[in-house]
Structure 1
């Protein structure tokens, strides 16, 4: 195949753009903020777990307080009933039984009230722990949102560079003759490099020096003859040896 030196040089410009595009895509995929965000996942899971654990503890304590309040009210009502019965009783035996039950109910009410006080104090501590866990989770949400915003902005900037590179590539490709461009694209898809410079006897496609025999053969070719890297098969573009 034959192509003017200018046509061949357009290929290395295309290849440079392809390399730049690949670097941009890798940079987009490997943004340091992505690793930062991934590192926050365990922290977020732990914070959420702590919040849920304290919420469950609050629920248990609230249920316990409600039960104690109900039991205390039942005992209080029973005492009021027995006190009415005692005040109206005319039987010494019945009065003695009522008084004994009143004493038992008084002790029971005292025990219930003491237990309720203990649970309420524990509930206050748990509530403080819940508030702290909720604040920690909210702070983490804020920090995570900030990192996500940084990622979005970085992606926006890189996408703009990718779009500009794609537009520039389309313009360059339009200048290349059809059969040469088709060969370049085929080589690029198969070997990863479509065209590379020959510089100081080194193929930039393989980063290896050509043998004297290989160099002699390439240098003897006409300027418009398309030559190839012996190691990779990529189009080797001359004119960069100085």
Structure 2
């Protein structure tokens, strides 16, 4: 197949751009921020578990304290009622019964208030644990937001580079003969490289020196004759003969 030296040089430029595009795509998929986010997932799950456990404990203590407070209020209401009845009673028997009940209610209220104080201390510890878990979760969320912002910024930079290089590639491809471009694309799809330089006796497609007989055959070919790397099959462009 024939291709002018200029067409062959365009092939090298096209391969350089394809290498750049491949490198940028790999860079995009292996951005360090992705690894950071993956590593953060375990911390996030742990923080979420601790937060939910602290929230459940705090809810339990709040509910227990509310029940005790309701019991205290109920006992107080009964004491207030009995005191009013006692003040209005004219019966000594009734007054004695009311006085006995008041003493019982007083003891009950004292017990409930002692329990209330204990629960308030437990609630205070639960509240502190909840605040700590909430702060931990917020910190993880803030880190995730910051990493995601950096990831988006890095992706956008690479996408701009990809778009610019893709546009340049399209321009170069349009300058190539259709059959030359088709051969290049077929080789690149099959072996991973379409064209490479021949520097001295070294093929940059295989990074190996050619045998004397192989090199002799290539040097004997006309400048517009396409030659190929014996090791890989990629198009070889003789840059040092131009």
Normalised by the length of structure 2, the TM-score is: 0.91
Which SS does the other structure have where 1:236 is aligned?
Answer: strand
**Aligned residue for 1:21?**
21
CA contact (8 A) 1:194 1:234 kept: yes
Taking the TM superposition and a 5 Å limit, the aligned residue runs for 1:1-242 are 1-87=1-87, 88=89, 90-92=91-93, 95-240=95-240
The answer to which of 43-52 and 150-159 deviates more is 43-52
2:222 alignment partner, SS class = coil
Partner-residue secondary structure (3-state), 1:240: helix
Deviations 1:4-62 (A, max 9, x none): 11111111110011001111111111111221222222222222222222211111111
Classify the secondary structure of the residue corresponding to 1:45.
helix
* Structure 2 CA distance for aligned equivalents of residues 89 and 17 of structure 1: 108
1:14, 1:169 within 8 Å by CA — same for their partners in 2? yes
Give the distance between the partners of 1:77 and 1:134, measured in 2 at CA: 39
Q: Distance in 2 between matches of 1:241 and 1:73?
A: 102
Change in 2 beyond 3 A, CA 1:89/1:60: farther
Please report the TM-score for the alignment, with normalisation by the length of structure 1.
Answer: 0.91
Aligned length: 241
Greater mean alpha carbon deviation, residues 163-172 or residues 127-136: 127-136
Q: Kindly state the Cα deviation for residue 89 of structure 1 after the two structures are TM-superposed.
A: 5.8
Contact 1:198 / 1:241 at 8 angstroms: preserved in 2?
no
Deviations along 1:83-115, whole A, 9 cap, x unmatched? Answer: 4454526254x5554444333322221111111
Provide Cα deviations, 1:190-215, integer angstroms capped at 9, x if missing partner. Answer: 11111111123222112222222211
CA distance in 1, matches of 2:72, 2:180: 94
Cα deviation digits, residues 143-202 of structure 1 (max 9, x gap): 322221111111111111111111111111111111111100111111111111112322
User: CA separation in 1, counterparts of 2:41 and 2:235?
Assistant: 47
List runs of 5+ in structure 2 lacking aligned partners: none
Structure 1 moving runs of 4+ over 6 Å: none
Which string of whole-angstrom CA distances, capped at 9 and with x for unpartnered residues, describes residues 208-237 of structure 1? 222222111111111111111112111111
SS at match of 2:240: coil
Q: Distance in 1 between matches of 2:217 and 2:55?
A: 80
Q: What are structure 1's unaligned runs of at least 5 residues?
A: none
